[in-house]
Structure formats: C-alpha cells, structure tokens
Chain A
Amino acid sequence: MKILVLASFFLMIFGKNLLAAEAGMPQLDPEYWASQAFWLILIFTLLYLSISKLFVPKIRNSIDVRNSKIKDDLDEAKNLKDASEKKLKEYENLIESAKREVQKINTDSKEKLNDDIQKKKKLVEKEIDSAAEKAQSEITSLKKNSINDILKISEKMTATVIEEISGDKLNESSIKAAITEISKKKISNYL
C-alpha cells in the first residue's frame, strides 16, 4: 500500500517534472541526468571491480586463514588430549604393574627372610647345642679330674696333718686306702 502511494506520488510529480524542477526539486531537472547516470555507472563499475577482484578475496582469505588456523589448533589440541590421555592410561598401567611387582617382591622377600631366619636359627641352635654338649662333657671330665686331684690332695693333707699331730709317719698306702674308703662312702656329699 505504502509502495503504491509512493509510486503514484512519484509518477504524479514525474508527469509535470519541469514544473516541479522550477518549483524547487532539482532532482527532477533532467539537465544532468545523463551525466549522473554515466558517472554512477562508471564509478560503481570501477568500485565493484576493485572490491570483487581485490578487497573481497583479501578479506575472505584472511578470514579463511584464521578459521583454518582455529580448526587446526582445535584438531591439534584434540590429538594432544588423546595422546595425553593415552599416556596417562599407560602411566596408570605402569603404576599398577609396579605396585603388583612391589607387592610380589615384598612377599617374596618376606618369605625368603623368614626362611633365612629359620635356617640361621636352626644353625645357631645346633651350634648352641653342640657347644652346650661340649661344655657339659668338659664339666664332667673336670669333675672326674677334680675328684682324683682332691683325693690326692686330701691324701697328702691327711698324711701331713697326721704327721704334724702325732709326729709319726704313717704308711702312705694305708692312708690312701682309708681316704679311698671314706671318699667312696661320702663323696656324694661333696658332689
């Protein structure tokens, strides 16, 4: 509707254009219409050519370069992310296996240590046993020896004591027999 009104308005003025131009609408004075048309076509054609051949490709190129750079960067970021995730998984697997290994080593070494300890214990016990036996046998031999020594000493002592008291010298063999007899009866009191 608006369009039609405008169009009719335009046509109305257009019909009496000379009159309108005189009344003050230089737009409707056809004197320079050809000139305006010529220069418009010339200048707009030149502008269109320079824009379509020079400027638009340049702007488009820089926008394309930016977009492809953004896309490449995003792709690269995705690849890197995937790689890092892979590496992380690898690392986790490594840690997991290392943990298992550590556990294995731990139990193994514990067992080994236990075995070692048991072995050493047995060895030491054996040594202790043999040492104790040896000591025991030494003690018994010492005991036996000491009894003989004691008998001899007591024989001498008795002989000396009797000699001191009575002044007589008794027969050694009789003293020995007496001591042996006494010691046989009473040795258990001293041992």
Chain B
Amino acid sequence: MATNPMHQFNVYRIGPEVKIAGIDISFTNSSLFMLLSAGAICIFLLLGTREKKLIPGKMQLVAEIFYNFIAKMISDTAGSKAKPYFPFIFSLFMFVLFCNMVGMFPYSFTVTSHIIVTLIMAMFIFVAVTVIGFIKHGFKYLKIFVPSGVPVLLLPLITIIEIISYLSRPVSLSVRLFANMMAGHTMLKVFGGFVISLGLLGGWLPLSFSVALTGLEILVAFLQAYVFAILTCIYLNDALNLHH
C-alpha cells in the first residue's frame, strides 16, 4: 500500500473521534496541515509586521511584497471598488499558497489536493459573488447572462451558454486547483516509486525527473494560488462592475 501513489491523499483521524449531531468532525491529518499552513502564515506575517521600519527589513519587505502583489492584482482586475474585499483575497491567496507549499514537503499532506476543500472555497466565493452582485445591482445583475450586441436570433443560445458557464465557475475553480495538486503529487510519487524499483543502476533517470518535477510543482503551487486568487478577483469584478 505504501507504493500506491494515491496513498498520500488518505485522510485519517488524529486523536479522539468527535461527533456533533451524528456528523464526524474529528481532527484529521488534513486539519493538522490546514492548521500548520495557517500557523505558518501567521508566523510569517507576524515576523513581517513585528518591526515597522521606514526602510523595511527582510521579512517586512517580503510581507509588503505579498501585500503589494495582491493589492495590484485586485486593482488591475476588479478596480477600486474591490478594495473592501482585499483582506479576503489576501487570506485566500496566502492560504492556498501556503497549503500548496506545505504540501511540497515530503511526508506532508496537501490540503488543497482534496476536492471537498477546494469545492467549499469555490462555492463560498461563488455564493458570495452572486450575493454581492444582487446587492449591488438588484435584478439588473441578471444582465450578466445577456451579453449586449448579440443578434436576437442567437440570444437564447448565448444566454443558456452564459448561464452554464456561470454555474460551472465553482466547479472549474475547485477542480482546477484540486486536479493540479493531485496530479502533481501523484506524478512525484510515481517517479519516486520508479527510483526504488529501478534500483541503483536505472534509478537515476526517474530521480532527475523527480527533481525537475519538484521544481515544476513549486511553480505550479504558486501559479495555482495566483490563478485561484485572480479568478476570484475576476468574478468579483463581474459582480461589482456590470459590463455585459
């Protein structure tokens, strides 16, 4: 079972079983690594904000780079109206990034490689964006499904496509992150297994692949966090500034 590349995604209970109203909410390894990621973010930000110097130190500079990166991303994609949502986007980006990065450590667990985690985040974003859209624009928000400048003949078809694409947002958002993380870690595990099975003579090639894949996976970890955050910004932009 140890050589099964999917074994790393197993969720198991740590500590006692906790049930509330018949629902099992026990502390698991997934919860542990969520906690670790959140703790790492807090420690990182704590170090970054510990001293407020006019000329920033190393940690302060890194924290401010992250801050400015997200702030620029939001203002570029969603405009100034999205400013109140900055803390949420920032938390989201940091959480996904740190979960992905913590998952890169050997023997660790990748929280974002589970569809339920990414789906909950994506569903929350989807529902929140829809609610914000209706609060800001009322029923005019439904215009988002009716693009302007489309021939009347094509309008029913386009509207149906728009509705489907809108409704598939949470699915695409969650599956993108989950599938990327799962595929990457599975591949790493498969190549790791090849190293063992091919032994001292033939194992060097898959090992070098493994090293290259690790670099790629770190890139993917960052990229997927970025994509997750920027798509959230784009959806938010649709809700805040009705363009269609």
Which residue numbers of A lie inside 8 Å of B, CB to CB?
3-4, 6-7, 9-10, 24-29, 31-41, 43-44, 46-48, 50-52, 54-56, 58-63, 65-66, 69
Cβ-closest 8 pairs across A and B: A52-B87, A39-B31, A58-B49, A3-B172, A55-B45, A24-B6, A38-B25, A62-B52
**Chain B hits for A38, CB < 8 A:** 25
Closest to B50 in A: A58
Q: Which of A10, A31, A40, A41 has the most CB of B within 10 A?
A: A40
CA distance in complex: A48, B60 (Å): 20
Interface size class of B (residues with CB under 8 A): 35 or more
Closest to B26 in A: A35
Could you tell me if B91 and A48 are in contact, using CB atoms closer than 8 angstroms?
yes
CA distance in complex: A10, B115 (Å): 10
What are the interface flags for B23-38 relative to A under an 8 Å C-beta threshold, 1 for contact and 0 otherwise? Answer: 1111110110011001
**Chain A hits for B41, CB < 8 A:** 47, 51
Could you tell me if A34 and B23 are in contact, using CB atoms closer than 8 angstroms?
yes
Question: Closest CB-CB distance, B96 to chain A, in whole Å?
Answer: 10
- Residue in A25, A44, A66 whose CB lies within 8 Å of B95: A44
**Chain B hits for A51, CB < 8 A:** 41, 45, 87, 90-91, 94
Could you tell me if B9 and A56 are in contact, using CB atoms closer than 8 angstroms?
no
Q: List 6 A-B contacts (CB under 8 A).
A: A32-B11, A32-B24, A33-B116, A37-B120, A39-B34, A51-B90
**Chain B hits for A37, CB < 8 A:** 116-117, 120
Using A31-B24, A36-B117, A43-B31 as known contacts, say yes or no to A59 and B67 having CB atoms under 8 A apart.
Answer: yes
Closest to B6 in A: A24
Q: Which of B1-19 contact A (CB under 8 A)?
A: 4, 6, 9-11, 13
Could you tell me if B67 and A60 are in contact, using CB atoms closer than 8 angstroms?
yes
**Chain B hits for A62, CB < 8 A:** 49, 52-53, 56, 60, 64
Dominant secondary structure at the B interface: helix
Question: Closest CB-CB distance, B155 to chain A, in whole Å?
Answer: 21
- Residue in B10, B60, B90 whose CB lies within 8 Å of A56: B90
Report if B182 contacts A (CB, 8 A). yes
**Chain A hits for B49, CB < 8 A:** 54-55, 58-59, 62
Could you tell me if A47 and B91 are in contact, using CB atoms closer than 8 angstroms?
yes
Using A10-B175, A48-B88, A63-B67 as known contacts, say yes or no to A27 and B25 having CB atoms under 8 A apart.
Answer: no
Report if B48 contacts A (CB, 8 A). yes
CA distance in complex: A26, B88 (Å): 29
Q: Which of B28, B45, B113 has the most CB of A within 10 A?
A: B45
CA distance in complex: A5, B10 (Å): 26
Q: Which of B49-65 contact A (CB under 8 A)?
A: 49, 52-54, 56, 60, 63-64
Could you tell me if A26 and B64 are in contact, using CB atoms closer than 8 angstroms?
no
Q: Which of B75-130 contact A (CB under 8 A)?
A: 86-88, 90-91, 94-95, 111, 113-117, 120-121
CA distance in complex: A34, B41 (Å): 24
**Chain B hits for A69, CB < 8 A:** 54
**Chain B hits for A40, CB < 8 A:** 34, 111, 117, 120-121
**Chain A hits for B56, CB < 8 A:** 62
Question: Closest CB-CB distance, B191 to chain A, in whole Å?
Answer: 17
Question: Closest CB-CB distance, B24 to chain A, in whole Å?
Answer: 6
